Structure formats: C-alpha cells, structure tokens
C-alpha cells in the first residue's frame, strides 16, 4: 500500500499540479499567485512524505496491509499517528491551492505576452493568453520540435542545432562493475527478505 501510493502520488499528482500551474496562464490569461503556490507545494510535499514514507516503516515493523484496527501491543500506534498527521497536512494543502485558483482567476495578474515563462516549446506558446477561438491569425512556421522557442529566440536556433549535432557521437564507456551491482542489489534484497521470514510467514 505504501509503495503503490508513494509512486502513484509522487508521479501523477505532482505532475498534474505542475501542469495546472504551467498552463493556467494560457487557459485563463492570468498568473497564479507565486506565494500561495509555494505554500501549496511545501504543504503537499511534507504531507505526502509524512503520510506514505511512514507507511513503509509501519509495514517493515510487521503490520499487514488493509487492517482496519490493531491492538496497542502490536506497536503500530505511533507510526500510524504520524501517517495520519501527514494525511491531515496533505488534505489542508488543498486549501491554498483552491484559494489560489479562485483568487487568481478573478483578480490575478493579467498576462500580456504569448509566453509568460519565456521558454515554451510547443505551439500554444506562440499565441495569446488565452488563445482566440481560431488559435492563430497567421499559421506559424513549424521547422523543428520547438517552434515557439524558435519564434521568440530566432538567434538561438542555429546554435542549438549545432550543439545538438555535436553530441551525437558521444557514448558512455562500459561500466561492468556498476552494472553488476545495480542488477545484484534487488536480488540480494529478495534473498534477505526470504531468509528473514519466520516459518509461519512462509
């Protein structure tokens, strides 16, 4: 349970938040409040790790998954309290996020440029924020995988192409020792897990 949610939340949820912060100016024409955004991030980050990292430790002490209740003598109480506090922080982290979206949508700083971040690559950053119904008054030229960046920084285009071609012949040297250690670590962990089990767990 801990590992599943650790991976799921750490990838999908954080990536979803990142996408909302990144494309909010393009969708609404207004910037989100940076101060509230930082508060939201740190509350989410702390709550996330406090909730799910602690669950790894609870499982390591022997608590099976999906237990609705347990005895105080089992020794799981303290860590589960920490995990519950983390879940509370995680829930509270949504408050500055929703307030930020509401406040910024109505009163946020108006975006006056096509690309408020200054480094957008794809075509949505080559039109206004928010874009008109027809998207583009004139069709943009697409000559690479970074059309918006090239539109805003034409003097960088040739330099970037040159630097991209320079690195094509570079190859990493073989690392047999590091590779063997990398492949051997999971196997060693599995063997240790099996050897440390009590007979009634087999």
Sketch the domain layout of the chain as residue ranges: 1-111, 115-161
Is residue 50 within 8 A of residue 83, CB to CB? The reply is: yes
Question: If we measure between CA atoms, which residue out of 71, 70, 90, 68 comes closest to residue 1?
Answer: 68
At 17-27, the pLDDT tens digits run 999 999 999 99
Total-model pTM? 0.69
Q: How far apart are CA 37 and CA 22, in angstroms?
A: 11
pLDDT averaged over every residue in the chain = 81
Quickly state the pLDDT bin for 37 (edges 50, 70, 90). very high
- Does residue 103 register a pLDDT over 90? yes
Residue bearing the bigger pLDDT, 198 or 118: 118
pLDDT at 70 exceeding the cut of 80: no
DSSP 174: P
Examine the pLDDT at 85 and tell me if it is beyond 90. Answer: yes
* Conformation bin of residue 29: beta by default, left when phi > 0, alpha when psi is -120 to 50: left
**∠ at Cα 115 (109, 119), nearest 5°?**
125
At 175, the pLDDT band (50, 70, 90 cuts) reads low
């Amino acid at each position: 349970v801990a590992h599943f949610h650790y991976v799921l939340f750490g990838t999908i949820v954080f990536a979803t938040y990142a996408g909302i912060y990144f494309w909010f100016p393009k969708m609404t024409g207004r910037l989100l409040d940076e101060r509230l955004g930082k508060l939201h991030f740190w509350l989410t980050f702390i709550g996330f790790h406090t909730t799910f990292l602690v669950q790894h430790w609870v499982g390591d002490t022997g608590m099976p998954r999906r237990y609705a209740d347990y005895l105080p003598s089992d020794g799981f109480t303290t860590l589960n309290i920490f995990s519950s506090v983390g879940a509370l922080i995680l829930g509270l982290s949504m408050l500055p996020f929703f307030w930020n979206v509401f406040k910024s949508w109505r009163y946020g700083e108006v975006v006056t440029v096509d690309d408020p971040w200054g480094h957008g690559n794809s075509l949505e950053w080559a039109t206004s924020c928010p874009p008109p119904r027809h998207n583009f008054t004139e069709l943009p030229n697409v000559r690479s995988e970074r059309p918006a960046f090239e539109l805003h920084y034409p003097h960088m285009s040739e330099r970037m192409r040159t630097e991209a071609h320079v690195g094509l012949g570079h190859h990493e040297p073989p690392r047999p020792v590091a590779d063997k250690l990398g492949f051997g670590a999971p196997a060693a962990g599995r063997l240790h897990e099996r050897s440390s089990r009590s007979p009634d767990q087999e």
